[in-house]
Amino acid sequence: MKFLHRGLYALILSVLFANTLSAEYLYKDEVIFNPKFNESVEELGAELYQKTGISLRLLMLKELPHDKKNIVEYEKEVMKNFSTPTVLLTFSEMDSQVDILAYPTSLYEYFDKRQVLSPISSPVQAFVIALLNFDFSDMSSGGTILPLLAQKAKKGEVLGKYSGAMFNGYADIAEQIAKSKGIELEHAVGSANQTSILIVKTLFYGIILIGIYMYIKRKLHLKRQANNE
């Protein structure tokens, strides 16, 4: 009987210890619960920390605590738990919010927060939107999270969309930090997949631009004909 109690105690300790290890860089996960997702984040996060001394942590929340007014307030509270230079990438499903908080603030020098959180994925898309709105004041693009989160997902594929979008953003931040530090990451996602997506989107929005051009050209032609008559 004592042996059983000892075995159960050892099992509980091993499970708790394993959970502690797995929660190092995927600091909190109330949404995905996918071992492969966990493993990918842990591998990339551990390598980044080993080579740069910067902890990049991902928080996947179901919903923000009711005593927190916004996601930034929550991040500032969580940040108190860390003693090393830390970047928090936080997603709250029910609140539909994503944010990045870095401490110390000098860490923002190593990655482009505005680009990562841009709702626009490509320069071509940014140009088309600016053209349609007749506003070229903000042409920021290159978003690696929000464009994916904005896509419609079939029933049963929502968690896949969340994990894909958030890991895409996590990897983007990690690779930017690594590049700023002059190092390479073995577990980096790389730009091959993003390049393929960019090519497809460039072709797609290129066709839209041609359509807009032909439409405007025809309108001007009809207007000239009407004036001549």
Amino acid at 192: A
Question: How would CATH label the architecture of 15-224?
Answer: Roll (3.10)
Q: Model confidence at 222, in pLDDT bands (50, 70, 90)?
A: confident
Q: Model confidence at 188, in pLDDT bands (50, 70, 90)?
A: confident
Q: Model confidence at 192, in pLDDT bands (50, 70, 90)?
A: very low
Query: pLDDT of 114-163, one tens digit each?
Result: 999 999 887 766 666 666 666 666 666 789 999 999 988 888 899 999 99
φ, ψ for residue 117 (rounded to 5)?
Answer: -95, 10
Q: What percent of the chain has pLDDT over 90?
A: 56
In this structure, the strands spanning 97-103 and 86-92 are antiparallel
Q: Model confidence at 190, in pLDDT bands (50, 70, 90)?
A: low
| Predicted pLDDT at 225 | 74
CA angle 19, 20, 22 (to 5 degrees): 60
Residue boundaries of the structural domains of the chain: 15-224
> Using CA atoms, how far apart are residues 56 and 33, in angstroms rounded to an integer?
19
If you average pLDDT over every residue of the chain, what do you get? 82
In angstroms, the Cα distances linking 143 to 27, 58, 146, 188 are 23, 17, 6, 17
pTM exceeds 0.75: no
Angle at which helices 158-181 and 35-52 pack, to 10 degrees? 10
Mean local confidence (pLDDT), 65-75: 91
Mean local confidence (pLDDT), 46-70: 95
Mean local confidence (pLDDT), 194-201: 49
CB 166 within 8 A of CB 90: no
In this structure, the strands spanning 55-61 and 26-29 are parallel
> Using CA atoms, how far apart are residues 181 and 176, in angstroms rounded to an integer?
9
Q: Model confidence at 229, in pLDDT bands (50, 70, 90)?
A: low
Residue 90, SS3?
strand
| Predicted pLDDT at 123 | 73
Position 214 pLDDT exceeds 80: no
In angstroms, the Cα distances linking 122 to 127, 130, 146, 177 are 9, 12, 12, 21
Between residues 8 and 214, the one the model is more confident about: 214
CB 79 within 8 A of CB 47: no
